[in-house]
A = this chain, B = another copy of it.
Amino acid sequence: MMTSLRIGLIGLGSVGKGLFDIIQSRPDLHVEIKRICVKDLTKHRDVPASLITGDVSELINNSEIDAIVELIDDADAAFAIASAAMRQGKAVVSANKRMVATRLHELIALQQETQQSLLYEASTCASIPIIRNLEEYYTNGLLTSVTGIVNGTTNYILTRLTSAAGSNFGYIDALGEAQEKGFAESDPTLDVEGFDAVFKSTILAKHAFGALIDPSTVIRRGIAQVNAFDITFAASQGFVIKHLAHIEERNSNELSVYAMPTFVLNSNPISWVSYEINAVRLATVAPDAQLLAGRGAGGISTACAVLSDLSMLRHNYRYTYRKGLGGKGPTLSNDVTVRAYVRGNEAMINSVPWIQRQIDVRSIEANFVIGSVNLQALADSPAFRDTDTFVGMWSSE
Protein backbone atom coordinates (compact mmCIF):
# COMPACT_ATOMS: atom_id res chain seq x y z
CA MET A 1 0.00 0.00 0.00
CA MET A 2 1.40 3.38 -0.96
CA THR A 3 1.65 5.77 1.98
CA SER A 4 -0.22 8.67 0.42
CA LEU A 5 -2.05 9.21 -2.85
CA ARG A 6 -1.30 12.43 -4.71
CA ILE A 7 -4.12 13.44 -7.02
CA GLY A 8 -4.87 15.92 -9.76
CA LEU A 9 -8.51 17.02 -9.77
CA ILE A 10 -10.22 18.04 -13.01
CA GLY A 11 -13.53 19.83 -12.53
CA LEU A 12 -14.58 21.79 -9.44
CA GLY A 13 -18.38 21.65 -9.52
CA SER A 14 -20.46 20.34 -6.63
CA VAL A 15 -18.75 16.91 -6.72
CA GLY A 16 -15.23 18.33 -7.03
CA LYS A 17 -15.78 20.89 -4.29
CA GLY A 18 -17.40 18.26 -2.02
CA LEU A 19 -14.40 15.99 -2.57
CA PHE A 20 -11.97 18.85 -1.91
CA ASP A 21 -13.69 19.74 1.38
CA ILE A 22 -13.72 16.15 2.72
CA ILE A 23 -10.07 15.57 1.77
CA GLN A 24 -8.95 18.84 3.40
CA SER A 25 -10.74 18.02 6.63
CA ARG A 26 -9.47 14.44 6.89
CA PRO A 27 -5.67 14.03 6.71
CA ASP A 28 -6.18 10.40 7.82
CA LEU A 29 -7.49 9.64 4.32
CA HIS A 30 -3.90 10.03 3.04
CA VAL A 31 -5.01 11.79 -0.14
CA GLU A 32 -3.23 14.95 -1.19
CA ILE A 33 -4.63 17.27 -3.86
CA LYS A 34 -1.61 18.55 -5.82
CA ARG A 35 -3.40 20.55 -8.52
CA ILE A 36 -6.93 21.42 -9.70
CA CYS A 37 -7.84 22.10 -13.32
CA VAL A 38 -10.92 24.25 -13.99
CA LYS A 39 -12.57 25.53 -17.16
CA ASP A 40 -13.31 29.10 -16.07
CA LEU A 41 -10.30 30.70 -14.37
CA THR A 42 -12.18 33.95 -13.67
CA LYS A 43 -14.77 32.35 -11.35
CA HIS A 44 -14.21 32.84 -7.62
CA ARG A 45 -13.54 29.56 -5.83
CA ASP A 46 -13.03 28.82 -2.19
CA VAL A 47 -9.76 26.90 -2.70
CA PRO A 48 -6.12 28.11 -2.63
CA ALA A 49 -5.36 29.93 -5.90
CA SER A 50 -1.96 28.23 -6.07
CA LEU A 51 -3.68 24.89 -6.76
CA ILE A 52 -5.73 26.15 -9.70
CA THR A 53 -4.78 25.91 -13.36
CA GLY A 54 -6.68 26.04 -16.63
CA ASP A 55 -4.25 23.70 -18.38
CA VAL A 56 -5.02 20.00 -18.04
CA SER A 57 -1.55 19.00 -19.27
CA GLU A 58 -0.07 20.55 -16.13
CA LEU A 59 -1.78 17.71 -14.25
CA ILE A 60 -1.27 14.90 -16.72
CA ASN A 61 2.44 15.60 -17.14
CA ASN A 62 3.08 16.26 -13.46
CA SER A 63 5.30 13.46 -12.15
CA GLU A 64 4.21 14.22 -8.58
CA ILE A 65 0.62 13.20 -9.37
CA ASP A 66 -0.29 9.50 -8.98
CA ALA A 67 -3.92 9.63 -10.05
CA ILE A 68 -6.27 11.88 -12.02
CA VAL A 69 -9.81 12.40 -10.73
CA GLU A 70 -11.94 13.46 -13.67
CA LEU A 71 -15.26 15.11 -12.81
CA ILE A 72 -16.31 16.95 -15.96
CA ASP A 73 -19.53 16.65 -17.96
CA ASP A 74 -18.21 16.36 -21.51
CA ALA A 75 -17.77 12.64 -22.29
CA ASP A 76 -15.35 13.13 -25.20
CA ALA A 77 -13.13 15.49 -23.23
CA ALA A 78 -13.26 13.09 -20.28
CA PHE A 79 -12.17 10.21 -22.52
CA ALA A 80 -9.27 12.24 -23.92
CA ILE A 81 -8.15 13.09 -20.37
CA ALA A 82 -8.50 9.52 -19.12
CA SER A 83 -6.53 8.01 -21.98
CA ALA A 84 -3.78 10.63 -21.83
CA ALA A 85 -3.47 10.18 -18.06
CA MET A 86 -3.28 6.40 -18.24
CA ARG A 87 -0.67 6.60 -21.01
CA GLN A 88 1.32 8.88 -18.68
CA GLY A 89 1.31 6.11 -16.07
CA LYS A 90 -1.45 7.52 -13.90
CA ALA A 91 -4.49 5.83 -12.43
CA VAL A 92 -7.84 7.47 -13.21
CA VAL A 93 -11.05 7.83 -11.22
CA SER A 94 -14.08 9.02 -13.16
CA ALA A 95 -17.74 9.77 -12.43
CA ASN A 96 -18.68 10.17 -16.10
CA LYS A 97 -21.33 7.54 -16.90
CA ARG A 98 -21.68 8.58 -20.52
CA MET A 99 -17.95 8.18 -21.12
CA VAL A 100 -17.83 4.80 -19.40
CA ALA A 101 -21.00 3.52 -21.11
CA THR A 102 -20.12 4.63 -24.63
CA ARG A 103 -16.35 3.91 -24.56
CA LEU A 104 -16.13 0.89 -22.27
CA HIS A 105 -14.50 -1.39 -24.85
CA GLU A 106 -11.72 1.16 -25.49
CA LEU A 107 -11.33 1.90 -21.78
CA ILE A 108 -10.83 -1.78 -20.95
CA ALA A 109 -8.23 -2.08 -23.73
CA LEU A 110 -6.48 1.02 -22.38
CA GLN A 111 -6.30 -0.48 -18.90
CA GLN A 112 -4.74 -3.64 -20.31
CA GLU A 113 -2.33 -1.71 -22.53
CA THR A 114 -1.15 0.73 -19.84
CA GLN A 115 -1.58 -1.61 -16.83
CA GLN A 116 -3.18 1.35 -15.07
CA SER A 117 -6.32 1.27 -12.95
CA LEU A 118 -9.50 3.06 -14.02
CA LEU A 119 -12.22 3.10 -11.35
CA TYR A 120 -15.72 4.53 -11.82
CA GLU A 121 -17.94 3.52 -8.91
CA ALA A 122 -19.42 7.04 -8.95
CA SER A 123 -20.64 6.64 -12.53
CA THR A 124 -23.47 4.31 -11.56
CA CYS A 125 -25.78 5.27 -8.67
CA ALA A 126 -23.13 7.41 -6.96
CA SER A 127 -22.48 6.12 -3.47
CA ILE A 128 -24.23 2.75 -3.83
CA PRO A 129 -21.30 0.30 -3.99
CA ILE A 130 -22.79 -1.59 -6.92
CA ILE A 131 -19.83 -1.98 -9.29
CA ARG A 132 -17.50 -3.15 -6.53
CA ASN A 133 -20.09 -5.71 -5.39
CA LEU A 134 -20.63 -7.02 -8.90
CA GLU A 135 -16.86 -7.33 -9.33
CA GLU A 136 -16.07 -8.85 -5.94
CA TYR A 137 -19.18 -10.45 -4.42
CA TYR A 138 -21.39 -11.62 -7.27
CA THR A 139 -18.63 -13.60 -8.95
CA ASN A 140 -19.88 -17.16 -8.76
CA GLY A 141 -22.10 -17.16 -11.83
CA LEU A 142 -25.32 -17.39 -9.84
CA LEU A 143 -26.65 -13.96 -10.78
CA THR A 144 -29.74 -14.08 -13.02
CA SER A 145 -30.85 -10.47 -13.26
CA VAL A 146 -29.97 -6.94 -12.19
CA THR A 147 -32.82 -4.46 -11.82
CA GLY A 148 -32.27 -0.89 -10.83
CA ILE A 149 -33.98 2.33 -9.92
CA VAL A 150 -30.89 4.08 -11.28
CA ASN A 151 -32.34 7.54 -11.81
CA GLY A 152 -33.47 9.77 -8.95
CA THR A 153 -35.43 12.21 -11.12
CA THR A 154 -37.86 9.60 -12.45
CA ASN A 155 -38.19 7.96 -9.05
CA TYR A 156 -38.97 11.27 -7.36
CA ILE A 157 -41.65 12.11 -9.96
CA LEU A 158 -43.27 8.65 -9.83
CA THR A 159 -43.22 8.62 -6.02
CA ARG A 160 -44.94 12.01 -5.83
CA LEU A 161 -47.54 10.96 -8.42
CA THR A 162 -48.23 7.81 -6.38
CA SER A 163 -48.57 9.67 -3.08
CA ALA A 164 -50.77 12.33 -4.72
CA ALA A 165 -53.07 9.77 -6.40
CA GLY A 166 -56.65 11.04 -6.49
CA SER A 167 -55.68 14.74 -6.52
CA ASN A 168 -55.05 17.03 -9.50
CA PHE A 169 -51.29 16.86 -9.00
CA GLY A 170 -49.94 15.58 -12.33
CA TYR A 171 -46.72 14.83 -14.19
CA ILE A 172 -45.93 18.49 -14.94
CA ASP A 173 -46.43 19.45 -11.28
CA ALA A 174 -44.21 16.61 -10.08
CA LEU A 175 -41.50 17.51 -12.59
CA GLY A 176 -41.66 21.16 -11.50
CA GLU A 177 -41.34 20.17 -7.87
CA ALA A 178 -38.36 17.91 -8.68
CA GLN A 179 -36.69 20.81 -10.49
CA GLU A 180 -37.31 23.15 -7.53
CA LYS A 181 -35.75 20.64 -5.14
CA GLY A 182 -32.73 20.07 -7.35
CA PHE A 183 -33.70 16.50 -8.29
CA ALA A 184 -34.28 17.39 -11.96
CA GLU A 185 -32.32 19.50 -14.45
CA SER A 186 -33.90 22.50 -16.18
CA ASP A 187 -33.76 20.34 -19.34
CA PRO A 188 -34.84 16.99 -17.86
CA THR A 189 -34.73 15.00 -21.13
CA LEU A 190 -31.75 12.78 -20.29
CA ASP A 191 -33.43 11.64 -17.09
CA VAL A 192 -37.17 11.48 -17.80
CA GLU A 193 -36.69 9.91 -21.24
CA GLY A 194 -34.49 7.17 -19.79
CA PHE A 195 -31.17 7.95 -21.53
CA ASP A 196 -29.39 8.18 -18.18
CA ALA A 197 -30.80 4.78 -17.16
CA VAL A 198 -29.61 3.28 -20.45
CA PHE A 199 -26.01 4.37 -19.81
CA LYS A 200 -26.09 2.83 -16.36
CA SER A 201 -27.72 -0.37 -17.64
CA THR A 202 -24.80 -1.05 -19.97
CA ILE A 203 -22.21 -0.44 -17.22
CA LEU A 204 -24.16 -2.85 -14.98
CA ALA A 205 -24.42 -5.40 -17.82
CA LYS A 206 -20.63 -5.49 -18.15
CA HIS A 207 -19.83 -5.91 -14.46
CA ALA A 208 -22.76 -8.26 -13.76
CA PHE A 209 -22.54 -10.53 -16.78
CA GLY A 210 -19.47 -9.55 -18.82
CA ALA A 211 -21.53 -8.20 -21.73
CA LEU A 212 -20.36 -5.22 -23.78
CA ILE A 213 -23.54 -3.53 -24.99
CA ASP A 214 -23.89 -0.45 -27.18
CA PRO A 215 -26.20 1.96 -25.29
CA SER A 216 -27.94 2.93 -28.53
CA THR A 217 -29.27 -0.64 -28.87
CA VAL A 218 -30.95 -0.73 -25.45
CA ILE A 219 -34.77 -0.63 -25.53
CA ARG A 220 -35.88 2.58 -23.84
CA ARG A 221 -39.05 4.44 -22.85
CA GLY A 222 -39.42 7.40 -20.51
CA ILE A 223 -42.12 8.39 -18.04
CA ALA A 224 -43.59 11.55 -19.63
CA GLN A 225 -46.78 9.71 -20.68
CA VAL A 226 -47.69 8.33 -17.23
CA ASN A 227 -50.99 9.66 -15.91
CA ALA A 228 -53.28 9.41 -12.88
CA PHE A 229 -55.14 6.46 -14.37
CA ASP A 230 -51.97 4.37 -14.71
CA ILE A 231 -50.90 5.18 -11.14
CA THR A 232 -54.32 4.41 -9.64
CA PHE A 233 -54.80 1.26 -11.69
CA ALA A 234 -51.37 0.01 -10.60
CA ALA A 235 -52.26 0.57 -6.93
CA SER A 236 -55.61 -1.21 -7.34
CA GLN A 237 -53.75 -4.30 -8.59
CA GLY A 238 -51.10 -4.22 -5.82
CA PHE A 239 -48.44 -2.68 -8.04
CA VAL A 240 -46.30 0.47 -8.05
CA ILE A 241 -44.89 2.06 -11.23
CA LYS A 242 -41.11 2.51 -11.16
CA HIS A 243 -38.69 3.42 -13.94
CA LEU A 244 -36.27 0.51 -14.08
CA ALA A 245 -33.09 -0.48 -15.84
CA HIS A 246 -33.35 -4.26 -16.23
CA ILE A 247 -30.67 -6.69 -17.32
CA GLU A 248 -31.63 -10.35 -17.45
CA GLU A 249 -29.68 -13.44 -18.38
CA ARG A 250 -31.75 -15.46 -20.89
CA ASN A 251 -29.13 -18.19 -21.23
CA SER A 252 -25.36 -18.27 -20.89
CA ASN A 253 -24.96 -16.48 -24.25
CA GLU A 254 -27.74 -13.92 -24.24
CA LEU A 255 -29.01 -11.00 -22.20
CA SER A 256 -32.05 -8.80 -22.60
CA VAL A 257 -31.72 -5.20 -21.48
CA TYR A 258 -34.24 -2.39 -21.24
CA ALA A 259 -34.86 0.91 -19.45
CA MET A 260 -38.63 1.27 -19.08
CA PRO A 261 -41.45 2.24 -16.75
CA THR A 262 -42.41 -1.01 -15.00
CA PHE A 263 -45.31 -2.17 -12.84
CA VAL A 264 -43.68 -3.78 -9.79
CA LEU A 265 -45.51 -5.81 -7.13
CA ASN A 266 -45.67 -3.91 -3.85
CA SER A 267 -44.27 -6.95 -2.03
CA ASN A 268 -41.00 -6.53 -3.97
CA PRO A 269 -38.54 -4.50 -1.85
CA ILE A 270 -37.54 -2.40 -4.86
CA SER A 271 -41.11 -1.00 -4.89
CA TRP A 272 -40.49 0.46 -1.41
CA VAL A 273 -37.62 2.65 -2.62
CA SER A 274 -39.04 6.15 -2.90
CA TYR A 275 -38.34 9.79 -3.72
CA GLU A 276 -34.87 10.47 -5.13
CA ILE A 277 -33.32 7.31 -3.65
CA ASN A 278 -31.79 4.78 -6.07
CA ALA A 279 -31.60 1.01 -5.59
CA VAL A 280 -30.29 -2.01 -7.43
CA ARG A 281 -31.81 -5.47 -6.97
CA LEU A 282 -29.55 -8.45 -7.59
CA ALA A 283 -31.38 -11.72 -8.20
CA THR A 284 -29.69 -15.12 -8.08
CA VAL A 285 -30.70 -18.63 -9.17
CA ALA A 286 -31.25 -19.71 -5.57
CA PRO A 287 -33.88 -18.01 -5.88
CA ASP A 288 -32.87 -15.10 -3.72
CA ALA A 289 -32.29 -11.37 -4.12
CA GLN A 290 -30.46 -8.55 -2.42
CA LEU A 291 -31.05 -4.82 -2.70
CA LEU A 292 -28.46 -2.04 -2.45
CA ALA A 293 -29.90 1.44 -1.98
CA GLY A 294 -28.73 5.00 -1.46
CA ARG A 295 -28.54 8.40 -3.04
CA GLY A 296 -27.71 8.05 -6.75
CA ALA A 297 -26.74 11.65 -7.39
CA GLY A 298 -25.64 14.83 -5.68
CA GLY A 299 -22.25 16.32 -4.93
CA ILE A 300 -21.61 14.65 -1.59
CA SER A 301 -22.83 11.18 -2.54
CA THR A 302 -20.82 11.21 -5.75
CA ALA A 303 -17.77 12.53 -3.92
CA CYS A 304 -18.07 9.66 -1.42
CA ALA A 305 -17.96 7.09 -4.22
CA VAL A 306 -14.88 8.83 -5.67
CA LEU A 307 -13.25 8.76 -2.23
CA SER A 308 -13.90 5.05 -1.92
CA ASP A 309 -12.23 4.52 -5.31
CA LEU A 310 -9.27 6.61 -4.15
CA SER A 311 -8.91 4.53 -1.02
CA MET A 312 -8.90 1.37 -3.20
CA LEU A 313 -6.18 2.88 -5.41
CA ARG A 314 -4.03 3.06 -2.29
CA HIS A 315 -4.47 -0.74 -2.16
CA ASN A 316 -3.52 -0.99 -5.88
CA TYR A 317 -7.02 -2.19 -6.71
CA ARG A 318 -8.08 -2.74 -10.34
CA TYR A 319 -11.30 -4.11 -11.82
CA THR A 320 -10.55 -7.62 -13.09
CA TYR A 321 -13.33 -7.74 -15.70
CA ARG A 322 -13.16 -11.47 -15.09
CA LYS A 323 -16.66 -11.94 -16.46
CA GLY A 324 -16.70 -12.15 -20.25
CA LEU A 325 -12.90 -12.14 -20.49
CA GLY A 326 -11.54 -12.33 -24.04
CA GLY A 327 -14.79 -11.13 -25.59
CA LYS A 328 -16.66 -14.27 -24.49
CA GLY A 329 -19.43 -12.41 -22.67
CA PRO A 330 -23.09 -12.78 -23.59
CA THR A 331 -24.64 -10.67 -26.34
CA LEU A 332 -27.83 -8.62 -26.42
CA SER A 333 -30.98 -10.41 -27.52
CA ASN A 334 -34.43 -8.93 -27.20
CA ASP A 335 -36.11 -11.90 -28.91
CA VAL A 336 -37.93 -12.84 -25.73
CA THR A 337 -41.55 -12.84 -24.58
CA VAL A 338 -42.40 -10.24 -21.94
CA ARG A 339 -45.61 -8.87 -20.47
CA ALA A 340 -46.43 -5.23 -21.25
CA TYR A 341 -49.10 -2.62 -20.41
CA VAL A 342 -50.07 -0.29 -23.25
CA ARG A 343 -52.57 2.55 -22.75
CA GLY A 344 -53.58 4.71 -25.69
CA ASN A 345 -55.99 4.92 -28.59
CA GLU A 346 -57.36 1.89 -30.40
CA ALA A 347 -54.97 2.17 -33.35
CA MET A 348 -51.89 2.36 -31.13
CA ILE A 349 -52.98 -0.53 -28.92
CA ASN A 350 -53.61 -2.62 -32.03
CA SER A 351 -50.25 -1.68 -33.55
CA VAL A 352 -48.61 -3.91 -30.92
CA PRO A 353 -48.19 -7.50 -32.19
CA TRP A 354 -49.67 -9.09 -29.06
CA ILE A 355 -49.05 -12.81 -28.59
CA GLN A 356 -51.90 -12.91 -26.10
CA ARG A 357 -54.05 -10.19 -24.49
CA GLN A 358 -54.60 -11.07 -20.83
CA ILE A 359 -56.56 -7.93 -19.96
CA ASP A 360 -58.27 -5.82 -22.61
CA VAL A 361 -60.20 -2.78 -21.37
CA ARG A 362 -62.12 -0.02 -23.17
CA SER A 363 -63.67 2.48 -20.77
CA ILE A 364 -64.45 6.16 -20.39
CA GLU A 365 -61.32 6.44 -18.24
CA ALA A 366 -58.82 4.63 -20.45
CA ASN A 367 -58.22 2.04 -23.15
CA PHE A 368 -55.47 -0.40 -22.32
CA VAL A 369 -54.17 -3.89 -22.83
CA ILE A 370 -51.97 -6.03 -20.61
CA GLY A 371 -50.58 -8.89 -22.61
CA SER A 372 -47.60 -10.95 -23.69
CA VAL A 373 -45.50 -9.74 -26.56
CA ASN A 374 -42.06 -10.23 -28.05
CA LEU A 375 -39.83 -7.52 -26.57
CA GLN A 376 -38.17 -6.55 -29.86
CA ALA A 377 -41.53 -6.57 -31.69
CA LEU A 378 -42.97 -4.28 -29.01
CA ALA A 379 -40.02 -1.91 -29.41
CA ASP A 380 -40.55 -1.87 -33.18
CA SER A 381 -44.29 -1.14 -32.97
CA PRO A 382 -45.77 2.31 -33.73
CA ALA A 383 -47.17 2.43 -30.17
CA PHE A 384 -43.65 2.38 -28.77
CA ARG A 385 -42.70 5.54 -30.64
CA ASP A 386 -45.98 7.35 -30.06
CA THR A 387 -45.68 10.22 -27.62
CA ASP A 388 -49.35 9.96 -26.54
CA THR A 389 -49.20 6.26 -25.64
CA PHE A 390 -47.98 4.97 -22.28
CA VAL A 391 -45.96 1.77 -22.56
CA GLY A 392 -44.73 -0.05 -19.46
CA MET A 393 -43.44 -3.49 -18.57
CA TRP A 394 -45.69 -5.62 -16.33
CA SER A 395 -43.43 -7.47 -13.93
CA SER A 396 -44.32 -10.76 -12.25
CA GLU A 397 -42.30 -9.78 -9.18
Q: Which A residues fall within an 8 A CB radius of B?
A: 18, 22, 26, 28-29, 127-129, 132-133, 136-142, 267, 269, 272-275, 277, 279, 284-295, 300-301, 303-304, 307-308, 310-312, 315
Contact = CB atoms under 8 A, between A and B. Distances in A.
Contact of A290 (B29, B274, B294): B294
B295 A127 contact: no
25 contacts: A18-B286, A22-B285, A22-B286, A26-B141, A29-B140, A129-B137, A133-B137, A139-B308, A139-B315, A140-B308, A140-B310, A142-B304, A142-B307, A269-B274, A269-B277, A269-B294, A286-B301, A286-B304, A288-B300, A289-B294, A289-B295, A290-B293, A290-B294, A291-B293, A293-B293
B292 A304 contact: no
Contacts of A311: 139-140
Contact of A141 (B29, B275, B293): B29
A138 B127 CA distance: 11
Quick one: copies of this chain in the complex?
2
Nearest to A282: B294
A315 B322 CA distance: 12
A300 B300 CA distance: 37
Contacts of A289: 294-295
Contacts of A137: 129, 132-133, 308
A18, A267, A291: most-surrounded residue (chain B CB, <10 A): A291
A276 to B, nearest CB: 11
Given A29-B140, A140-B311, A269-B273, A291 B294 contact: yes
A127 B289 CA distance: 8
A128 B127 CA distance: 17
A139 B310 CA distance: 11
Contact of A132 (B136, B275, B277, B287): B136
Contact of A292 (B290, B308, B312): B290
A300 to B, nearest CB: 5
B277 A293 contact: no
Nearest to A293: B291
A294 B288 contact: yes
A275 B272 CA distance: 12
A289 B300 CA distance: 10
Contact of A293 (B129, B269, B312): B269
Given A141-B26, A286-B300, A307-B140, A292 B291 contact: yes
Contacts of A287: 300
Contacts of A142: 22, 26, 29, 304, 307
